[in-house]
Amino acid sequence: MNLAEQVHTLIEALPYMRRFDGKTFVIKYGGHAMVDEALKQSFAQDVILLRQIGIHPVVVHGGGPQIGLTMKRMGLQPRFIDGLRVTDTDTVNVVEMVLAGAVNKEIVNLINRNGGHAAGISGKDGQTIHARKLLHTKRGRGDDDEEPEIIDLGWVGEVERIEPQLLRLFHQSDIIPVVAPVGVGSEGETYNINADHVAGHIATALQAEKLILLTDVIGVKGADGALIGDLSASESQRLIQNGTIAGGMIPKVETCLAARAGGVGSAHIIDGRVAHALLLEIFTDTGIGTQVR
């Protein structure tokens, strides 16, 4: 890139910097961006830059592969039903140790080593994430009249409500909060919760300007396989119904739709495998992923 192109890039970003000054962005960090060393560095640099120009980033992270690896080292066999981790008492102890401990502190250290200021919390801190047991409904392969089967996944939860007071305290400082998706039940029990869903609920509770989900795909694709840059709620539902949006992309799109319905300014599904994906999505006219409007 020559000097003229660099200046053009800065000029293109300027109106977005003005528009988002003082706003909150909730970012779900996961996938390949948490594994590749170069991508980890670019992610840290991106969130630090966001904070430096007046945006308040809140990072919510996953850690499924790290949980699985730790379980195997401890002689525990991971089990899944419909892609959901079965979380017994031994497993939930590992989940909390890995997510709220090793993974969370690694991300905090990554941001701090790159010149930012970060602090890690789990949903238990300040009772930020109130959770209840998730009962998974599994429908049989027979006709539509067949009764659905209710599957008990153990200590797998869903968000009941978010108490945002602790997160709002970070807005009064330069500290970037890094949140592990571990929730607390009414009796103090620990629940493992999907990180995308946690990010969506936090974005709604904070009335964030943006919810951004980092994934290992380019975004939502149409029937022709091409990236859909802008996606409306009605088009989302149509593509889910006809099978164009399928598999793991369905809950991500539904999370974005719920956040938008809850007052979040915009929701984005972007490719975390691209270096500086956050900056490219936020500060360029075209972006790189799918924006759910």
Of the listed ranges 40-49, 113-122, 244-253, the least confidently predicted one is 244-253
Q: List the domain boundaries for the chain.
A: 3-292
Mean per-residue pLDDT, 187-204: 96
> Furthest-apart CA pair in the chain: how many Å?
66
Residue entry with tokens 């017994």: 88
| Angle (CA) 248 201 166, round 5° | 135
The pLDDT of residue 152: 82
Domain 3-292: CATH class, spelled out: alpha beta
The pLDDT of residue 212: 98
- What pTM value is reported for the model? 0.93
Instruction: Tell whether the model's pLDDT for residue 62 goes beyond 80.
Output: yes
The pLDDT of residue 140: 52
Cβ(269)–Cβ(290) below 8 Å: yes
In the beta sheet, which residues pair with residue 120?
178
Q: What is the pLDDT of the chain when averaged over all its residues? A: 92
Instruction: Tell whether the model's pLDDT for residue 73 goes beyond 60.
Output: yes
pLDDT in tens, 141-152: 555 555 667 778
Answer with the residue of higher pLDDT: 175 or 139. 175
Mean per-residue pLDDT, 125-141: 84
Mean per-residue pLDDT, 217-234: 94
Instruction: Tell whether the model's pLDDT for residue 186 goes beyond 70.
Output: yes
The pLDDT of residue 60: 98
The pLDDT of residue 293: 81
The pLDDT of residue 98: 96
Mean per-residue pLDDT, 12-36: 94
In the beta sheet, which residues pair with residue 118?
176
Residue entry with tokens 């959901």: 84
